[in-house]
Structure 1
């Protein structure tokens, strides 16, 4: 299955300023596969070292900081060949190996001719710890679940991807493309973007195996909760995790601790929630009070929403059966459009450097689902899972902050169009958001 991250890895390989690379990503998102495939395609050979399977390799980093000695010991112990410039060296499952991470400083300074990538399923947790870290001596890259575009490629729909990439003007999409894209998007809501469930559907068309694969991933994540250094946090992490479908099923999707447990207080559960955020199993979206820069300066830290890393995992965790695929638009509208919101956030996170926010006010109630920062502009975003696309909240937002807003964005089941300053993006084009905003700004300005 083709991953679009491969292009970024190739840029890293060819960069004059290349440093050892740290690839972050949740368990079973495809880190090991893409690194081995990258090595197979673009290097003479790959030297792979897994510090979970071969814990004794850690000792080589504890006794010396000398790069040549470390590599010599690794080659002798594993029988693998390592050549400067010609070998991709993969250090996998390094989240529990601070000496390995710290050694990247010496590889960067003393042996830049070696191409090294470190990966691990809980690296976000490890890097959040206040420990010795090679600041400025490594490059970072994030691998997220497969996008809808990658799902289409895996499903053999290269023609649809080519069509979407060829669009260079904001105008309605012909039914010949529009209808199949919406049907494929429903299936993406069912499978999500984790490679194994996608494989079970796109290659085997096996719904039961796809369901089991999703359950297996969820079980693996729940076992990881026990890796919190304070074992008393384990049940709290688990309770927050299992409460997410209920949180998103509410009209007001603001995270409320009492949904986790009656009488729960923020100070009791905030460390457990932060663990999930650091592990990137969930995305935390703060409420923004105004469209200013930097966007973080206007965060209301007491109000936030929580979304899962993957829409398919959310569907499985919510125990929504795959049969909803055949029930009209139910997947888009189920539990107040939570799947659609999660899907949109999932794709916005991959396109924009700054984590999206949201905006709301009470009396009367208004809520804009997401606020995104693109370059130095702020754009309000609304997600409409139903055919009703009246955007009261978007209008209110512009009434309040109109002089700062160049364009309003709405994701819905309507066709691609630009009505004055409202850009309507069909849900299946969410991967194209950044590019479409650029096109719309030129058209609207023109």
Structure 2
């Protein structure tokens, strides 16, 4: 099934550049990169050619190797091999799984300069050493990241475009949805919490309406990820595997900062830094760094060795949480869905908000402070965003975001944060199952609106 993706609009913006650059669709495996590339080529161009370097024969690779210095000869033999005619300035050539053949990526500079066609690449694990050594990364390459679905895309996939639009309008207007729609959106959000946003998982759910079938799909994706880590992780493979497997346990804690002892009792960050980078670069996890001095330049005080680690997709995290059994029944998922079975919902809720923020372009940052001598200095803010603040002539300010999985909560940390940083702070957000409400600079937002941030 072809799903509507937000990244499609980014590709349309790229196409307006009239062939001045190629575009690389980068993301984790099974997020739909190849499908998106094929759909875009079919819809937006008169002709196209897709070369999948995971399956391309040596004969095709030899054309790239032998004729890189003669573009005319290159096209003569390449197009003859595939038996296609391409219309100049209205054709797209797609290098699918380009990480499998870095030579093609390094050829992009010459192809873009030639100017007769447009070029798109798709790939995972693009930046690992074996995929970039001995090649020149083309400066004529724009990037579009493709993530698992956010909640808006999940609604689109279900055919609930109208509800998605109403949610977005309600956020902008700061007016709550009618009670019936609020409940409906909340119920679909809980389904999304368990299904997640991997296209194959969503498709399995829409076709079967059976969580057990979806769980089997997610387990296959998790197995693929673990195999990729061991196959491509190099010297960091064992450490990356330990981190990946430790994510659910770390997020189940009250304080969700990643403790390296969970990976190995004698672990040191300098030994594991490469493994964290590898997992994040593969888009398998989203790392969230602690900021010690929150300003509109959050990264100026971000600590690389003080972080939280979220799984790229919350549906995969839910399956990992049930990983003590070979398969998980539809009945168990249904019990979780309707609140009949207690699980650590805070773990899933914070992860899924991280997913919404990452999909919509935010680099994840948080604020944590512990001071036994001064209780007013002890606080934990789940996420920090930089947003325009209407009460300061729309200048940028730091927006603290607190995530609550239930309707009963306090906002002590937000109160302390506002008191400590005062004029640096803009709109404050509390995400919870409650209905939308605004109190001064504090905006209480239903969890299902988190994609709007």
* Residue in structure 2 matched with residue 34 of structure 1 by the alignment: 36
2:439 to 381, 397, 419: 419
Q: Which moved more, 1:166-175 or 1:190-199?
A: 166-175
Q: Deviations over 1:10-61 (max 9, x none)?
A: 2222334641111101111000111111111122222110111014233222
Offset at residue 235 of structure 1 (A): 2.2
Offset at residue 229 of structure 1 (A): 5.9
2:271 to 268, 272, 275: 268
Q: Confirm or deny: 8 A CA contact 1:96 1:126 kept in the other structure.
A: no
Q: Does 1:367 align with 2:367?
A: no
Offset at residue 200 of structure 1 (A): 0.9
* Residue in structure 2 matched with residue 388 of structure 1 by the alignment: 408
Cα 1:328–1:101, aligned 2, differ >3 Å: closer, same or farther?
closer
Q: Confirm or deny: 8 A CA contact 1:245 1:314 kept in the other structure.
A: yes
Q: Confirm or deny: 8 A CA contact 2:126 2:132 kept in the other structure.
A: no
Offset at residue 81 of structure 1 (A): 2.9
* Residue in structure 1 matched with residue 351 of structure 2 by the alignment: 342
Q: Which moved more, 1:362-371 or 1:128-137?
A: 128-137
* Residue in structure 2 matched with residue 189 of structure 1 by the alignment: 193
Offset at residue 105 of structure 1 (A): 0.8
Offset at residue 357 of structure 1 (A): 0.7
Q: In structure 1, list runs of 5 or more residues that go unmatched.
A: 434-446
Q: Which moved more, 1:246-255 or 1:152-161?
A: 152-161
Q: Does 1:226 align with 2:246?
A: no
* Residue in structure 1 matched with residue 143 of structure 2 by the alignment: 140
**Map 1:315-326 → 2, pairs under 5 A:** 315-319=318-322, 323-326=332-335
Q: Does 1:292 align with 2:295?
A: yes
* Residue in structure 1 matched with residue 48 of structure 2 by the alignment: 46
**Map 1:117-266 → 2, pairs under 5 A:** 117-125=120-128, 129=132, 131-167=134-170, 168-228=172-232, 230=234, 232-266=235-269
Q: Equivalents in 1 of 2:127, 2:350: separation in Å?
A: 24
Q: Does 1:311 align with 2:311?
A: no
Q: Which moved more, 1:405-414 or 1:117-126?
A: 117-126
* Residue in structure 2 matched with residue 355 of structure 1 by the alignment: 363
Q: Deviations over 1:368-406 (max 9, x none)?
A: 001112363221110011112311111111111011112
Cα 1:332–1:338, aligned 2, differ >3 Å: closer, same or farther?
farther
Does the residue aligned with 1:136 lie in a helix, a strand or coil? Answer: coil
Q: Confirm or deny: 8 A CA contact 1:333 1:386 kept in the other structure.
A: no
TM-score (norm 1): 0.90
Does the residue aligned with 2:438 lie in a helix, a strand or coil? Answer: strand
Q: Confirm or deny: 8 A CA contact 2:24 2:120 kept in the other structure.
A: yes
Q: Equivalents in 1 of 2:294, 2:15: separation in Å?
A: 38
Q: Deviations over 1:408-433 (max 9, x none)?
A: 11111111111111111100111112
Q: Confirm or deny: 8 A CA contact 1:82 1:89 kept in the other structure.
A: no
Q: Does 1:281 align with 2:284?
A: yes
Q: Which moved more, 1:354-363 or 1:187-196?
A: 354-363
Q: Confirm or deny: 8 A CA contact 1:191 1:312 kept in the other structure.
A: yes
Offset at residue 125 of structure 1 (A): 2.9
Q: Confirm or deny: 8 A CA contact 1:25 1:121 kept in the other structure.
A: yes
Q: Equivalents in 2 of 1:319, 1:328: separation in Å?
A: 14
Q: In structure 2, list runs of 5 or more residues that go unmatched.
A: 389-395
Q: Equivalents in 2 of 1:173, 1:219: separation in Å?
A: 40
* Residue in structure 1 matched with residue 23 of structure 2 by the alignment: 21
Q: Confirm or deny: 8 A CA contact 1:332 1:340 kept in the other structure.
A: no
Q: Deviations over 1:278-323 (max 9, x none)?
A: 1111111110012224211111233111011111011111217563
Q: Confirm or deny: 8 A CA contact 1:186 1:331 kept in the other structure.
A: no
Cα 1:289–1:127, aligned 2, differ >3 Å: closer, same or farther?
farther
* Residue in structure 1 matched with residue 391 of structure 2 by the alignment: none
Q: Confirm or deny: 8 A CA contact 1:368 1:380 kept in the other structure.
A: yes
Cα 1:154–1:283, aligned 2, differ >3 Å: closer, same or farther?
same
Cα 1:227–1:55, aligned 2, differ >3 Å: closer, same or farther?
farther
Q: Confirm or deny: 8 A CA contact 1:190 1:325 kept in the other structure.
A: no
* Residue in structure 2 matched with residue 444 of structure 1 by the alignment: none
How many residues align? The count is 430
Does the residue aligned with 2:98 lie in a helix, a strand or coil? Answer: coil
Offset at residue 332 of structure 1 (A): 12
CA-based RMSD of the aligned residues comes to: 2.2
Q: Confirm or deny: 8 A CA contact 1:247 1:256 kept in the other structure.
A: yes
Q: Confirm or deny: 8 A CA contact 2:387 2:426 kept in the other structure.
A: no
Cα 1:216–1:331, aligned 2, differ >3 Å: closer, same or farther?
farther
1:80 to 80, 84, 100: 84
